[in-house]
Amino acid sequence: VFRKIHQQITNTNTNTIKYNLLSELESLENNINLNLNKYELICFDALDEVSNRDFSKAIKIISEISKYYKSSRIIVTCRTHYINSNNSLFLSDLPDFEYLLIDKFDVEQVNNFVENADLDSEIKRFLNTKINSEANKQLKSVLRVPRYLSEICKVISDNKLTKDQIQ
């Protein structure tokens, strides 16, 4: 399934990918025969990217897959506001699932992350100054989200951006 989706990503737009993901899930539900080992891990990443129209259907399909593959671990990632707004759906269709919240970093964790990132020392000092400053609360809020901080550091590193370019 993931190989097919990856191939589709390079050739199509986002709406098509979302549709194809749902059709792949439906295909899994109808032909549940993944030949999984006893301790296989199944991951459905970014469930919040499924359209509102298809969201409950995707949850039901994941529920069916979880019933069929009882010995496998299933991880579903989704933004918090989707879980909150669809709480009853999650609780009714995925009652045995555990829910974990990945919280924002505190300032010390951001500083540690930046310090260990593959970045130039001048960039590290610049980012640490920004996170420790009270001046830009919006930027500070963004940098505290682990995923965003990781992506920002990756973009800076991959593109060898200078302090002037990221200011």
Model confidence pLDDT, tens digit, residues 141-167: 889 999 899 999 999 999 999 888 987
Global model pTM greater than 0.75: no
Q: Is the pLDDT of residue 29 over 60?
A: no
pLDDT given for residue 10 in this prediction: 42
Amino acid at 67: K
User: What percentage of the chain carries pLDDT values higher than 90?
Assistant: 21
Rounded CA gap, 167 and 163, in Å?
Answer: 6
pLDDT per residue as tens digits for the range 55-110: 888 888 888 888 877 888 888 888 888 788 888 888 888 888 888 888 899 999 99
- C-alpha to C-alpha distance for 84 and 63, rounded to whole angstroms: 18
**By the 8 A CB rule, do 40 and 69 touch?**
yes
The secondary structure of the chain in percent helix, strand, coil, rounded to multiples of 5, reads: 60, 5, 35
Chain-wide mean pLDDT for the chain?
78
Evaluate the CA torsion angle 127, 129, 131, 135 in order and state its sign. Answer: negative
